[in-house]
Amino acid sequence: MKQVTAIGLFSGGLDSIMACRIISSLNVRVIALKFITPFFDDYIRHHEGMYCAEVLEKYGIDVRVVDLSKGYIELLRNPKHGFGKHFNPCIDCKIFMLSRARELMTDYEASFLLTGEVLGQRPMSQRRDTLRVIERDSGCEDILLRPLCARLLKETLPEREGLVDREKLYGFSGRGRKDQIRLAEKFGITDYPNPAGGCTLTDPNLGARIEQIYSGHLSMLNSDFSENDIRLLLVGRQFRLPVGVWFVLGRNMEENERIASLTGQGDWIVEMLERPGPTGLLRRAEHTVAGTSMETEIKRLAAGLVVRYGRKVDGVLPPAEVGIDTGKTCQALRCGPLDDTVFRGWTM
C-alpha cells in the first residue's frame, strides 16, 4: 500500500516542527514547505541546500523552499482582510501560503495539508472564526489539518478517512508553550528557536518604512518596484531627498557590501575617497536625477550625508572628497558634513 503524503507549512518555529513530527509519527510522509519573501527568511535564498540539510538533521523533517516574492509583493497592495497592528496582513498571508500549498498538492501527490496553528495563540489570525475564514478563502476546507489543536476543531477529511488517527492528535489552545515543549521533549527535540517576530512587516519601524513605498512616497518608484527594491528598503539608513529621490546609506561594512550587491542599472554609488565611511546609493538616479535641474543639488546633498555619517577625525567631521560613480563616470566633490537640521525630515 502506497504511503500517504501530506504537505506541511513550515515556519521553522516550535509549533510547525511539532505539527510535522506528529503527522510523520502516524506513518504519513510529510513534505514541509518553507515559504520565503523579501519580508521574511529572505537569507535562505542563498543557503537553500544548507538550510534544508540542517532542518533534516535537527528535526528529521524533509523541507522544500518555495519563493513567494512576486505574488506577495502584489498581495500587500490591497489585502482583503486588512492589516494588523503594523503593515502585517497576517490573515491574507496565511491564505496566500495555503493557496500555494494546495496548488502544489498534485506535484507532491499529497492527500492533505497541515499547519502548526494553535487555537487562540494569536489574537488576529488564530481565533476560531478566523481559522474558518482562512480555510474557506484558501480553498482548503476539509483538507487542512491542525494537529496541535485538531481535537478542539471540526473533524477533517484525513481524519474521517482514516489517513490519521484523531485520537493521536492534540487539543492545545492559548498562548502558552508548555504543552508544545513537553511534546518536543517526547520527540527528543530540545534545540528549537525561541518565539520571535521574524517578519519585518510586524516591526513598527520597518513596517512603516515598507508602507511608505506602497503609499507612493517615493515618487521615483510610483507603483513599479521590484523584490530588490524591497530588499534595499530594509538595509541601512533610508532617506527621501527633495523631489522624492531615494538615498540609502550603510551603517557598517556588512551593510555597505549588501547595498553594493543590490545596485541596479541606473543607480549611482556615493562614497568617500580619502577615509572610511558609508556606502551611499541613489536609486535609479540615472533616470530620475541625471539631466534635471536638481542634479547638482542632489549630488551635493548625497555627498554631504556620506560625510556626515563617515568616520570622525580627532572627534570632528572634516570636509572630504566624495566620489559619485554613475556607472559611466566618477565625479569627485569636496564637501563638508550636511547639518542635521537640513535632513531632519528626510529619514524613512
Indicate whether 64 and 130 sit together in one domain. Answer: yes
Query: Is there a domain that residue 204 lies in?
Result: no
Residue 225 lies in a domain: no
178 shares a domain with 251 = no
Residues 244 and 181 in one domain: no
Is 106 in a helix, a strand, or coil? helix
Looking at the fold, whether 148 and 286 belong to one and the same domain comes out as no
Looking at 186, 205, 227, the residue that finishes a domain is 186
Residue 163 and residue 31 share a domain: yes
- Rounded to 5°, the CA angle 269-275-276 comes to 65
**pLDDT in the model for residue 34:** 98
Q: Rounded to an integer, what distance in angstroms lies between the CA atom of residue 195 and that of residue 198?
A: 9
- Residue 28 CA to residue 4 CA, distance in Å, equals 5
pLDDT for the residue 213: 83
With contact defined as beta carbons under 8 Å apart, do 300 and 337 qualify? no
Q: What are the strands of the beta sheet with 5-9, ordered from one edge?
A: 62-67, 29-36, 5-9, 112-114, 144-145
Same domain, 263 and 177: no
Same domain (yes/no): 151, 259: no
164 shares a domain with 101: yes
Is residue 269, in this structure, part of any structural domain at all? yes
Residue 285 lies in a domain: yes
Q: How far apart are CA 299 and CA 233, in angstroms?
A: 20
Any domain includes 226 = no
Do 36 and 165 fall into the same domain? Answer: yes
Listed residues 148, 171, 186: the one ending a domain: 186
Per-residue pLDDT, 176: 83
Of 153, 170, 186, which residue constitutes the final position of a domain?
Answer: 186
Among 233, 252, 241, smallest CA distance to 310 is for: 252
- Helices 48-59, 14-24: axis angle to 10 degrees equals 60
The count of other CB atoms within 10 Å of the CB of residue 80 is: 11
Region of 72 please: left (phi>0), alpha (psi -120 to 50) or beta: alpha
What is the CATH classification number for the domain harbouring 108? 3.40.50.620
Q: How far is CA 340 from CA 305, 336, 337, in A?
A: 9, 12, 9
| Average confidence (pLDDT) per 10 residues, the chain, 348 residues | 93 95 97 97 95 96 96 94 92 97 98 94 79 96 97 96 97 89 92 78 91 76 79 95 93 96 96 94 93 96 97 92 94 95 91
| Type of residue at 55 | V
What nine digits make up the cell of 14? 516550535
Check whether residue 25 and residue 119 sit in a common domain.
Answer: yes
Q: Number of folded domains in the chain?
A: 2
Do both 249 and 323 map to the same domain?
yes
What Å distances lie between residue 221 and 191, 224, 226, 240, 294, CA to CA? 43, 5, 9, 12, 17
**Is residue 212 in some structural domain?**
no
Cα distances from 200 to residues 85, 89, 195, in angstroms, run 13, 12, 15
14 occurs within a structural domain: yes
Q: Please give the backbone phi and psi of residue 91, each rounded to the nearest 5 degrees, phi first.
A: -70, -50
- The pLDDT value given to residue 215: 82
How many helices and strands in the chain, by DSSP H and E? 14, 11
Question: Could you tell me whether strands 268-272 and 237-241 are parallel, antiparallel, or unpaired per DSSP bridges?
Answer: unpaired
Instruction: Domain of residue 289: give its range.
Output: 235-343
The answer to whether residue 175 sits within a structural domain is yes
Query: What DSSP line would sit under 36-98, residue for residue?
Result: EBTTBSGGGGGSHHHHHHHHHHHH--EEEEEE-HHHHHHHTTS-TT---SSS--HHHHHHHHH
The reply to whether 151 and 21 lie within a common domain is yes
Using CA atoms, how far residue 298 sits from 73, 242, 285, 286, 289, in Å, is 29, 8, 9, 12, 8
* CA–CA distance, 252 with 136 (Å, rounded to integer): 46
Q: What's the per-residue H, E or C state across 215-259?
A: CCCCCCCCCCCCHHHHHHHCCCEEEEEHHHEEEEECCCHHHHHHH
